[in-house]
């Protein structure tokens, strides 16, 4: 009889977890407490406290070739960076293609997940759910938790003296939906992460003034990179990853910082990070995506400010002594806490927004590896291919394959590193556990054309469908045609003057190319 698996959540991670269960012959049931799929990526006008939330204009900052599921490419006519509505369309295509809808129980909340009395021998779990006010209990052989980490806002108001006197509106980025409701307001946005920058730019065309406050600064990158290709397509290649391991880190960082400063000097724009990657200080910060941020700063739509020191009834005072009067709204883009209220602390304990997980997936202390956390990480790169590899590995472990590591983990107490990790290194580590990492030497001997694209081209998810469990016959074609799909989305107008001299008429000046 097939093992029963409970999948918690029908978002980006839950959908691929559901499909991976079916691939391994497991019997899944997905519990989704809302009325639809999509999780974070489903825009809603009105949200409840327990749902993830995005604003209307959200466009993903990883490109379609890098973020799609490995055996289901995103349509070639979709833009390389998709609006959240396009992401939802892709999810719907995915569940229809693999017939996943029938396994999802909507409007069903998971109240508790507890070990069965014989867990040490069976590894089974007692799952209590609620649908339309009616509770139900069922026994499952394994659990895949795919609830994400964008639900519980982190709002550190206690760090700012005088905040209780402030007469304006204080809100978290989770509450933000449209810029129109802030028309002609003076706003302070606290936090220089991707959300803080994106919301500031969204607001800057509507508000009277946006002040963007940062404690540490950040390097700002553009979605469009060399020759107009997407940033991750250009830089997330196996060849460049090999160079990163050969060339000293400070030299790589110096090259990267010089390249970013060539576009605009980050120090002159008030953005230079507090900790530089060219020093021996280990505190480094991943770059943020802010295509229009330097334009907004140079045109005065966004003004950079240091960390907030304190509030008055109508003003915000910053640590450099400057103050801005008549502030109407302060928006905190300060991230999220995560928790697992349906799990007991002796099963999974969260401390300071960290949780011990082997390879970011399995709680290492459990007697049986029948609980896996999927998608609980923030990599430099796309989350969906990582979540898919995690789910592929976890379901193989549930099935009884690839779990020789478990006794070693319990005996040695192996925990994940707390440091930041590189995308290709991490996906390759997971792929090695699954025996699906491409063998470059073998490929060069048997299929040189494919090998060259695997080495020098973007490390797209289809690379992990070339061989081993879950092999997909369409993987080779998908890899060899990925550049065509990237260009297909941009070549919506074909130039008719390829062989003519090109010039740009700028008033009384003509620059010949």
What are the residue ranges spanned by the domains of the chain? 4-151+338-465, 155-219+267-333
The pLDDT of 171-198, averaged and rounded, is 96
CATH fourth-level superfamily of 4-151+338-465: FAD/NAD(P)-binding domain (3.50.50.60)
Distances (CA, A) of 64 to 8, 70, 203, 483: 25, 11, 26, 11
- Residues near 186 by Cβ (< 8 Å), separated by ≥ 6? 207, 208, 209, 211, 324, 326, 327, 328, 329
The pLDDT of 367-383, averaged and rounded, is 92
Sheet of 371-373, strands arranged across: 104-105, 27-31, 4-8, 142-145, 371-373
Q: Tokens representing 250? A: 């400070």
CA distance 435 to 510: 58
Assess whether pLDDT exceeds 50 at residue 259. yes
49-86 confidence digits (pLDDT tens): 666 789 999 999 999 999 999 999 999 999 999 999 99
Phi, psi of 209 (to 5 degrees): -160, 140
Q: What is the pLDDT of residue 151?
A: 80
Q: What is the CA radius of gyration of the chain?
A: 24
The pLDDT of 93-103, averaged and rounded, is 98
CA distance 193 to 182: 21
Assess whether pLDDT exceeds 80 at residue 405. no
- Residues near 340 by Cβ (< 8 Å), separated by ≥ 6? 145, 147, 348, 350
Q: Tokens representing 444? A: 């060069």
1-48 confidence digits (pLDDT tens): 899 999 999 999 999 999 999 999 999 999 999 999 999 999 988 766
For residue 150, the 8-state DSSP code is -
User: 68: helix, coil or strand?
Assistant: coil
Cβ atoms of 421 and 430 closer than 8 Å: no
The pLDDT of 136-148, averaged and rounded, is 96
Cβ atoms of 43 and 89 closer than 8 Å: no
Q: Who wins on pLDDT, 409 or 138?
A: 138
The reply to whether 155-219+267-333 shares the fold of 4-151+338-465 is: yes
The pLDDT of 175-191, averaged and rounded, is 97
Distances (CA, A) of 511 to 431, 496, 497, 500: 51, 20, 17, 15
Listed in sequence order, the DSSP H helices in 436-481 are 440-446, 448-456, 475-480
pLDDT band at 282 (very low <50, low <70, confident <90, very high): very low
Q: What is the percentage of the chain residues whose pLDDT exceeds 70?
A: 89
CA distance 383 to 12: 9
For residue 134, the 8-state DSSP code is E
Q: What is the pLDDT of residue 419?
A: 42
DSSP, residue by residue, 248-307: -HHHHHHHHHHHHHHHS-TTTTT---SS-TTSS-------EE-TTHHHHHHTTSEEEE--
Assess whether pLDDT exceeds 70 at residue 500. no
**The domain 155-219+267-333: what is its CATH number?**
3.50.50.60
User: 189: helix, coil or strand?
Assistant: strand
pLDDT band at 417 (very low <50, low <70, confident <90, very high): very low
Phi, psi of 247 (to 5 degrees): -80, 135
Q: Which of 146-155, 170-179, 339-348, 382-391 shows the lowest mean pLDDT across its residues?
A: 146-155
The pLDDT of 145-168, averaged and rounded, is 92
CA distance 333 to 266: 21
pLDDT band at 508 (very low <50, low <70, confident <90, very high): very low
The pLDDT of 492-508, averaged and rounded, is 60
Assess whether pLDDT exceeds 70 at residue 136. yes
Q: Tokens representing 235? A: 């830089």
Q: Who wins on pLDDT, 97 or 501?
A: 97
CA distance 18 to 23: 9
Q: Which helix (H) or strand (E) holds 70?
A: none
Q: What is the pLDDT of residue 30?
A: 98
Q: What is the pLDDT of residue 1?
A: 82
Assess whether pLDDT exceeds 90 at residue 409. no
Mean pLDDT, the chain, integer: 90
Q: What is the pLDDT of residue 281?
A: 47
Region at 357 (left for phi over 0; alpha for psi -120 to 50; beta for the rest): beta
pLDDT band at 414 (very low <50, low <70, confident <90, very high): very low
The pLDDT of 275-293, averaged and rounded, is 70
The pLDDT of 404-412, averaged and rounded, is 52
- Residues near 81 by Cβ (< 8 Å), separated by ≥ 6? 59, 60, 61, 62, 63, 64, 223, 230
Assess whether pLDDT exceeds 70 at residue 413. no
Give me the residues paired with residue 130 across strands: 109, 135
435-467 confidence digits (pLDDT tens): 999 999 999 999 999 999 999 999 999 999 999
pLDDT band at 412 (very low <50, low <70, confident <90, very high): very low
The pLDDT of 161-184, averaged and rounded, is 96
Q: Which helix (H) or strand (E) holds 139?
A: strand 134-140
Q: What angle do CA 234, 240, 244 make, to 5 degrees?
A: 135
- Residues near 179 by Cβ (< 8 Å), separated by ≥ 6? 57, 202, 203, 205, 206, 207
């Amino acid at each position: 009889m097939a093992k029963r698996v409970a999948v918690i959540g029908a978002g980006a991670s839950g959908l691929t977890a559901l499909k991976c269960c079916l691939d391994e012959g497991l019997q899944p049931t997905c519990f989704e407490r809302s009325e639809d799929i999509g999780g974070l990526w489903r825009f809603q006008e009105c949200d409840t406290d327990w749902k993830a939330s995005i604003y209307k204009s959200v466009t993903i900052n990883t490109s379609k070739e890098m973020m799609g599921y490995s055996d289901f490419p995103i349509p070639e006519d979709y833009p390389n960076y998709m609006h959240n509505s396009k992401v939802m369309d892709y999810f719907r295509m995915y569940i229809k293609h693999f017939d996943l809808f029938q396994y999802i129980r909507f409007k069903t909340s998971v109240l508790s997940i507890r070990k069965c009395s014989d867990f040490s021998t069976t590894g089974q779990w007692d799952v209590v759910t609620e649908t339309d006010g009616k509770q139900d209990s069922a026994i499952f052989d394994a659990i895949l938790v795919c609830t994400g980490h964008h639900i519980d806002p982190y709002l550190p108001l206690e760090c700012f003296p005088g905040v209780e006197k402030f007469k304006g509106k204080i809100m978290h980025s989770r509450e933000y939906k449209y810029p129109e409701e802030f028309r002609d307001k003076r706003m302070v946005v606290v936090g220089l992460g991707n959300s803080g920058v994106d919301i500031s730019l969204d607001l800057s065309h509507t508000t009277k003034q946006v002040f963007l406050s940062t404690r540490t600064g950040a390097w700002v990158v553009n979605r469009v990179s060399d020759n107009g290709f997407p940033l991750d397509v250009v830089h997330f290649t196996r060849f460049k990853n090999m160079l990163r391991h050969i060339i000293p880190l400070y030299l790589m960082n110096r090259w990267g910082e010089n390249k970013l400063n060539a576009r605009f000097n980050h120090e002159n724009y008030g953005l230079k990070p507090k900790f530089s990657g060219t020093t021996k200080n280990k505190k480094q910060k991943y770059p943020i995506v802010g295509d229009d941020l330097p334009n907004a700063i140079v045109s005065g739509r966004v003004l950079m400010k240091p960390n907030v020191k304190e509030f008055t009834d109508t003003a915000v005072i910053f640590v450099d002594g400057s103050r801005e009067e008549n502030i109407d709204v302060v928006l905190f883009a300060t991230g999220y806490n995560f928790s697992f209220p349906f799990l007991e602390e002796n099963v999974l304990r969260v401390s300071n927004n960290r949780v011990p997980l082997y390879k970011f997936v399995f709680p290492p202390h459990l007697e049986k590896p029948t609980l896996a956390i999927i998608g609980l990480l923030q990599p430099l790169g796309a989350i969906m291919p990582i979540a898919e590899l995690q789910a592929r590995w976890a379901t193989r472990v549930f099935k009884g394959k690839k779990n020789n590591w478990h006794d070693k983990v319990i005996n040695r107490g192996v925990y994940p590193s707390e440091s930041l990790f590189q995308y290709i290194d991490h996906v390759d580590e997971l792929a090695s556990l699954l025996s699906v990492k491409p063998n470059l030497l073998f490929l060069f001997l048997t299929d040189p054309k494919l090998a060259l694209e695997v080495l020098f081209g973007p490390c797209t998810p289809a690379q992990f469908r070339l061989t081993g469990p879950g092999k997909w016959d369409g993987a080779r074609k998908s890899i060899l045609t990925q550049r065509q799909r990237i260009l297909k989305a941009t070549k919506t107008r074909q130039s008719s003057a390829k062989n003519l001299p090109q010039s740009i008429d700028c008033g009384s000046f003509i620059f010949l190319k």
